[in-house]
Amino acid sequence: MEYLSSLLIIILGLVLIVGRLLYCWWILPHFVYRKLKSNGFISGPKPHFPLGNLDEMKKSKNDILYSSPSSLLSNDIHSTAFPYFSLWQKVHGKVFIYWLGTEPFLYIADPEFLKKMSADIKGKSWGKPNVFKHDREPMFGNGLVMVEGEEWVRHRHLVTPAFSPANLKAMASLMVDSATSMLDRWTSLIDSGQQEIDVEREIISTAGEIIAKTSFGLSYENGRKVFEKLRTMQITLFKSNRFVGVPFGKFLNPKQNLKAKKLGKEIDTLLRSIITERSNKPRSGKPEKDLLGLLLEDNTVEGREKKALTTKELVDECKTFFFGGHETTALALTWTLLLLAVHPEWQKELREEIGEVIGDGQLTNIDVTMLARLKKMGWVMNEVLRLYSPAPNVQRQARQDILVDDLVVPNGTNIWIDVVSMHHDQKLWGQDVNEFKPERFKDDIFGGCNHKMGFLPFGFGGRMCVGRNLTNMEYKIVLTLILSRFSFSLSPNYCHTPSILLSLRPMHGLPLIFKPI
């Protein structure tokens, strides 16, 4: 009897587990898919269980990776960075459904559709795809990038003031210091006879240092340890093939997952110790003007206690700033150096502008008002973000049924917005879409794009990037210092393979040849 009841419990347990798995992996996604289909979204590549379209995506990516690299430096990158989307678009148009494992995604590369879909949706009503949450948890925790609903409103409300121009102003000197040490290192390398430098690696590490300083203060002993562990975690998470959306996908790289989890815990402990140390500091001490310092200061404003960020939330925001902020900005700078290396006339234009606005004597005292006057540099930045958008896509999940004309995007639909495709769409930008022409941003913040939703380097709506002013400042400071000390050209060793590893990056680095000015 006892044996029978134990057996019954085991069987019941198994049925429940299988039932739950079936519900999550089959019934729920297919429910959304059937709703999408019945609402008119019928087009898209045929999926195969359990990989969906992942196999096809990997194959077309490998075909590109293992084909002989083109010697031509073309800015027409959509078909190399996203060969599968480029192929599917030819058959299914600019709005269709594809599958990551057992999860259907609504693909959008049509700005008019996006405009209609997002018109009545507030920032707090957007979700982020549940299917990515496990993957991103060690990096962002429940920071601003991931939170939803009223919690997002609270976080956004508390975090936004930290990025105000007045607060960012105090960070300029930290940025000048980090960039200057990088450039001193380059000078030593050049003096020792090495003229070729892989700037991608150099700039990513300097931008990491800048973000760590501006986020949680590298001056703290633990700050440097956090920085090193965050970098190791990123490499651990993204160096292996991931199987997003595939049943049991997270168990396919157990070693990597365990390592990332362990690093995640160590980072949290270190950040907690920094936060505790700083919260316990006597109030009379000078408040620190990094992002964590500003959030801690805000937390102590009277009447805010209930809404203030908890220590766990502060830890997650610090990680979010680090991961959301350093690589994107570094890649914007990296792609800029590539384009300036092949367009020396623009190096000259920018150097002249720097001379007029800042002059040699002021380089170590660059301030925000000077940066605002670097207009041409602003056009160059926009043009680079258009051609080589470091954030190549925006992902959302519908948390309610959304009406687009007579179609319904059902609650729960995963959404993938292909920013690279829209930034390279001839119908939106004209014949010269793939040419580097910063002047297109001279009199028009949309660069002459014939649709206001066609240029989205920082996303759109209420969830638009909170760090864009910080990027703008860091970009202009670092580029000003580089251009003031060196001229550069492309190394013959450069191989043009823009690829996606979360962000859009040059697969084989960016070797440039430098000459001091």
Sole binder of ligand HEM in the list 75, 334, 413, 471 (CB under 6 A): 471
**Using the rule CB under 6 A, is 77 a contact of ligand HEM?**
no
Alpha-helical regions (H) of 239-343: 254-279, 291-299, 311-342
Among the listed residues 249, 457, 506, 509, the single contact to ligand HEM using CB under 6 A: 457
Contact track, ligand HEM, 29-68, x by CB under 6 A: ----------------------------------------
* 460 in contact with ligand HEM (CB under 6 A): yes
Number of residues binding to ligand HEM, judged by CB under 6 A: 25
Residues between 372 and 401 that touch ligand HEM (CB under 6 A): 390-391, 394
> What span, in angstroms and rounded, lies between the C-alpha atoms of 400 and 127?
10
Min dist. Cβ of residue 398 to ligand HEM (A): 13
Nearer to ligand HEM, 156 or 229 (CB): 156
C-beta closer to ligand HEM: residue 136 or 463 = 463
Asked if 485 and 351 count as a contact pair (C-beta separation under 8 A), the reply is no
Task: Tell me how far apart the alpha carbons of residues 410 and 403 are, in angstroms, rounded to a whole number.
Answer: 9
Under the binding rule (CB under 6 A), the answer on residue 204 touching ligand HEM is: no
> In the complex, what is the shortest distance from the CB of residue 291 to ligand HEM, in angstroms, rounded to a whole number?
7
Contact between 463 and ligand HEM by CB under 6 A: the answer reads: yes
What is the C-alpha to C-alpha distance for residues 364 and 381, in angstroms, rounded to an integer?
22
**Furthest-apart CA atoms within the chain: distance in Å:** 92
Question: Known binder of ligand: residue 449?
Answer: no
Q: In sequence order, what are the residues at sequence separation of 6 or more whose Cβ sits closer than 8 angstroms to the Cβ of residue 507?
A: 65, 495, 497, 498, 499
User: Among 477, 470, 397, 379, which Cα is nearest to 167's?
Assistant: 470
Interacting residue with ligand HEM among 47, 208, 467, 509 (CB under 6 A): 467
Q: How far is the CB of 259 from ligand HEM (least distance, A)?
A: 25
If the CB atoms of residues 35 and 155 are measured against ligand HEM, the closer one turns out to be: 155
Burial class (CB in 10 A: 0-12, 13-18, 19+), 457: buried
Q: Is the peptide bond before 50 cis (omega within 30 degrees of 0)?
A: yes
CB of 5 to ligand HEM, least distance (A): 50
In which element (H, E) is residue 136 found? helix 130-140
Work out which of 464, 495, 501, 515 binds ligand HEM, going by CB under 6 A.
Answer: 464
Torsion angle in degrees (nearest 10) through CA of 225, 227, 231, 232: 10
Interaction with ligand HEM in 125-154: which residues (CB under 6 A)?
A: 144-145
Residue 48 dihedral angles phi and psi, to the nearest 5°: -130, 130
DSSP 8-state assignment for residue 299? H
**For residues 196 and 298, which CB has a smaller minimum distance to ligand HEM in the complex?**
298
Q: Does 466 bind ligand HEM (CB under 6 A)?
A: yes
* Residue 282 CA neighbour count, 13 Å, CB half: 2
Q: How far is the CB of 154 from ligand HEM (least distance, A)?
A: 11
Closer residue to ligand HEM in complex, CB, 51/171 = 171
Residues 315-354 that bind ligand HEM (CB under 6 A): 320-321, 324-325, 328-329, 332
What is the spatial distance between Cα 96 and Cα 419, in angstroms, rounded to a whole number? Answer: 15
Of residues 423 and 440, the one with the C-beta less far from ligand HEM? 423
The interface region with ligand HEM, picked from 85-93, 189-197, 344-352, 459-467 by CB under 6 A, is 459-467
The two structure tokens encoding residue 72 = 């031509």
Near ligand HEM by CB under 6 A: residue from 459, 498, 509, 511: 459
For the stretch 377-387, what's the b/e string if a residue is b when 16 or more beta carbons lie within 10 angstroms of its beta carbon?
bbbbbbbbbbb
Q: Which of 33, 458, 486, 488 binds ligand HEM (CB under 6 A)?
A: 458
Cβ neighbour number for residue 14 with a 10 Å cutoff: 10
Q: Is the CB of 330 or the CB of 350 nearer to ligand HEM?
A: 330
- Edge-to-edge strand order for the sheet containing 414-418? 95-100, 103-108, 414-418, 393-398, 126-127
Q: Which residues are annotated as a binding site?
A: 465
Q: Which residues are annotated as a binding site for heme?
A: 465
Q: Which residues bind ligand HEM (CB under 6 A)?
A: 144-145, 156, 211, 320-321, 324-325, 328-329, 332, 390-391, 394, 457-460, 463-467, 470-471
